[in-house]
Structure 1
Amino acid sequence: MDVFEHIQSAKGPSLFLLPEWQNRCHLLTAGFTGRSGGVSESPYTSLNMGLHVGDMDETVIKNRQLVSDALDWPFEAWTCAEQVHGNRVQRVTEEERGSGRETLANVIKGCDAIITNVPNVLLVSYYADCVPLYFYDPVHHAIALAHAGWKGTVQQIAQETILAMAEAYGSRPQELVAAIGPSIGICCYEVDGPVIGQVTLLLEKLGCSDDSADTMLELSDNGRANLNLKEINRQIMIKAGILPIHIELTQWCTGCRRDLFYSHRMEGGSTGRMASWIGIRER
């Protein structure tokens, strides 16, 4: 069984939960949505979470409400940012609670990682192949989400998130637990020369040996390569101080399992978005 357990009821939205985290803290919820159990029509069929892909706003809002109801969280807690494939981290306070839940007009601007220690705030990010990164500080009761495509990965958004949690909440990397969620795998993610060059530089910065680098960047004879973003982000987390035994790593590939997930790359860019989420209820 994968660390992200697939839950699909007859009528509810498709969800992938982190049971180990929820067993650790009954006040915590964390997981990832699938593509079924919603009300969107083709090409966004059916649980599209993204307001920015061309789907009708009212349909996306309904899908988000379905997920909130399934989690037994008030929709008013749903809080999200405008993702720009960078590495900026934004601290979410009580004032930002609910930002972006129904419109892009009040979304938290220009950041790909959001952190908070405010209870009853549900942090949410959106994906269709990029890597969702989850962080939980059980000592200081702080949480974070980061959205890591290849650009955010090269800019080490995972490290920036860890540093931001340390500065804002006193989080210590060795006390954090982290998870890497469903995303495109090395099996499906082929990249070209400019990406290869930037990833190679990153692997050198991380001090990866040639053997370990080969597992993250598989070079082909045609000048292209297959990229393992999940493992690269795991290595960034470890380099930043998170203990390897504290990192959960999924095997779900959004490219292989288009019956379960949207894949921007495999569906030619015309598709919906999944959502990652994390929140802690008030004690």
Structure 2
Amino acid sequence: MALSDEELDRYARHIVLPQVGGAGQLKLTAARIAIAGAGGIGAGAIPSLTGAGIGHITLIDDDRVELSNLQRQPLYTSDQVGQRKVDLAARFIGKRNPHVECRTVADRIEADNVDAILSGHDLIIDGTDNFATRLTVSDAAVRLGIPLLSAAAQQFQGQVGLFRGQPCYRCFVGDAFDADDCDSCAELGVLGALTGIVGNFAALIAIRAIVGIAPDPAGTLHLFDGLSLTWKSMKLPRDPGCRTCGEGHEART
């Protein structure tokens, strides 16, 4: 596979980077990324991944645009309230980069459909707004052997982590959040600009992971404080008793 003249021009600022080059750009154009959630995090990540030339993006979201979304989801406009987010986001992708193939899934991720939706991808980005869905996605990512990039934003705090095997996302949060009744940004609030920062940071990690730019950040949680304007990182320990990736987990699946 080779890049066309149009693609060479489009991705020229990537190609001149020695850490990317033509070979790295070809990896991006061959990549398949699933994005769970086309809300605040997705609205931050989608433009950057589309511009980077990710070859295939699958968008998964069953929501429609609400007026309260517009404070933090710049993919959508006031006259689009009531329309499906995945349809609008797919239209945006097509206009921004015709080389990106987009598939939409206007369904809620559940235990009985998650494997079928996520299989065949090189990376999963989870920007959903509840722990139950996040844990369902994480468990599937471990089963399918697909790296998971989890990103979240609430109030003034953002967090992004890449999970590749052990530790997994369940090692980080445990089993207490499988119930779909935890607080979300609807109850606690979120600064609109924060979701863009977190979504773009997630896109940056995704691009680095696909290209293979070292060091590999898997197992590291990146935390952003929007009040102090500081980043900090912490290594996450593996939980040997994790029911998803811990010792003996294969016997329990």
The structure with more strand, counted as a fraction of residues: 1
The TM-score with structure 1 as length reference comes to 0.30
The TM-score with structure 2 as length reference comes to 0.32
Greater relative contact order structure (CA < 8 Å, 6+ sep):
1
